[in-house]
Amino acid sequence: MIPPSFEYYAPRSIGEALSLLSRLGDESKLLAGGHSLLPMMKLRFAQPAHLIDLNHIPDLRGIREDRGELVIGAMTTEAELIGSALIRNKVPLLAEGAGSIADPQVRYKGTIGGDISHGDPGNDHPAIMLALDAAFVLTGPKGQRTVKADGYFLGLYQTQLAADEILTQIRLPIPVSGSGWSYQKLKRKTGDFATAAAAVMLQMQSGRVARVAIGLTNVAPTALRAREAEAALAGKSLDEASLGEAARLAMSICNPTPDQRGDVAYKTAMCGEMTRRALQAAAARAAG
């Protein structure tokens, strides 16, 4: 299987990539890790006339700390996230989630920005970004704008990223120390998308939930923030009753597409189970 013909460009700066994107317009696609786009091109689900390869732009890579936030270049690979001491120490949820994506070869090439920008509800970073209250820096011909992860994902393959913009940075508020975290992903085999998955960030105080954020993967046309479940947990201890209620509320917002991974009822039930497990695992890691 060979992709259809296209023109290839390898810009060396964000500015050069933006001017190519403006000039080439709708017929062009940005190439990040390529492990979603190239398979789609082989299958003729995508046939861009121009590919703008972002792999040679140093400003799109790297992980640094900046005034209480982690700033991650959009072309940082999954393998780089997993290998980063900064990520493992400050935002371990991101390392855990990245380690569940695809397989080792794909993680060397796949990027956090590509995973987020693709708008595929099966991708893992969107729900993790929701749980981490991330913000995305979008750079276009008129400059930069910063948008919250919550509200960024509009629908299947649709995000707030405009056709002339590039996602350049991911900004993560560093969670307070003592926070618990977990990404629980049910998948049929290595390399598969989630049947359902849940990302949880949790702060406990005196045995009760002080703050919780829950993101859900692949149970709707976009990743979801489970706000009703979060609200129901506030101030509660995590016991059978509160976990059951949180799982029920997470399931109540599911609208999964039935496919070979399961029907609607099964995927919805697994979302509840992943939510419950992620909350329990996060609680085991949380202080207080």
Partner 1 sequence: MAKTHPVSFLLNGEPVAVEVEARELLIYTLREKLAHTGPHIGCETSHCGACTVDCNGMSVKSCTVLTVQCEGAEVLTVEGLERGGVLHALQQAFHEEHGLQCGYCTPGMLVRAYRLLQENPNPSEQEIRYGMSGNLCRCTGYQNIVKAVQAAARKLAAAQAAA
Find the angle CA(84)-CA(104)-CA(177) to the nearest 5 degrees.
Answer: 30
Residues from 169 through 188 that contact partner 1 (CB under 8 A): none
* Least distance from partner 1 to the Cβ atom of residue 102, Å: 8
Q: Which residues pair with 40 in a beta bridge?
A: none
- Choosing from 22, 89, 105, 255, the residue that interacts with partner 1 (CB under 8 A) is 105
SS3 label, residue 37:
helix
* Least distance from partner 1 to the Cβ atom of residue 108, Å: 4
Under rule CB under 8 A, residue 206 binds partner 1: no
Residues from 67 through 86 that contact partner 1 (CB under 8 A): 79
* Least distance from partner 1 to the Cβ atom of residue 44, Å: 12
Integer Cα distance of 85 and 91 in angstroms? 10
- Choosing from 19, 55, 257, 280, the residue that interacts with partner 1 (CB under 8 A) is 55
CA-to-CA separations, 93 to 17, 142, 164, 198, 213, in angstroms, rounded: 31, 34, 31, 11, 12
Q: Which residues pair with 186 in a beta bridge?
A: 196
Strands, E, within 101-236: which ranges? 135-140, 143-148, 153-155, 158-159, 166-173, 180-186, 196-205, 208-217, 224-225
Stretch that binds partner 1, among 5-13, 148-156, 239-247, 249-257 (CB under 8 A): 5-13
Q: Which residue, among 30, 45, 36, 31, has the nearest Cα to 165 in the 3D structure?
A: 30
SS3 label, residue 216:
strand
For residues 51 and 70, which CB has a smaller minimum distance to partner 1 in the complex? 51
- Choosing from 53, 59, 133, 245, the residue that interacts with partner 1 (CB under 8 A) is 53
Under rule CB under 8 A, residue 58 binds partner 1: no
Integer Cα distance of 40 and 268 in angstroms? 27
- Choosing from 15, 191, 235, 258, the residue that interacts with partner 1 (CB under 8 A) is 191
Stretch that binds partner 1, among 47-55, 119-127, 147-155, 199-207 (CB under 8 A): 47-55
Residues from 119 through 178 that contact partner 1 (CB under 8 A): none
- Choosing from 32, 81, 98, 106, the residue that interacts with partner 1 (CB under 8 A) is 106
* Least distance from partner 1 to the Cβ atom of residue 190, Å: 4
For residues 1 and 68, which CB has a smaller minimum distance to partner 1 in the complex? 1
For residues 48 and 180, which CB has a smaller minimum distance to partner 1 in the complex? 48
- Choosing from 27, 65, 66, 103, the residue that interacts with partner 1 (CB under 8 A) is 103
- Write 233-236 long-range contacts (CB < 8 A, 24+): 233/209, 233/279, 234/209, 235/208, 235/209, 236/208, 236/209
Under rule CB under 8 A, residue 16 binds partner 1: no
Under rule CB under 8 A, residue 38 binds partner 1: yes
Number of Cβ within 10 Å of residue 187's Cβ equals 17
Stretch that binds partner 1, among 30-38, 169-177, 213-221, 274-282 (CB under 8 A): 30-38
State phi, psi for 199 to the nearest 5 degrees.
-110, 130
As given in the structure block, the two tokens for residue 135 are: 């913000």
Contact positions toward partner 1, by CB under 8 A?
A: 1-8, 10, 34-35, 38-39, 42, 51, 53, 55, 79, 102-106, 108-109, 190-191
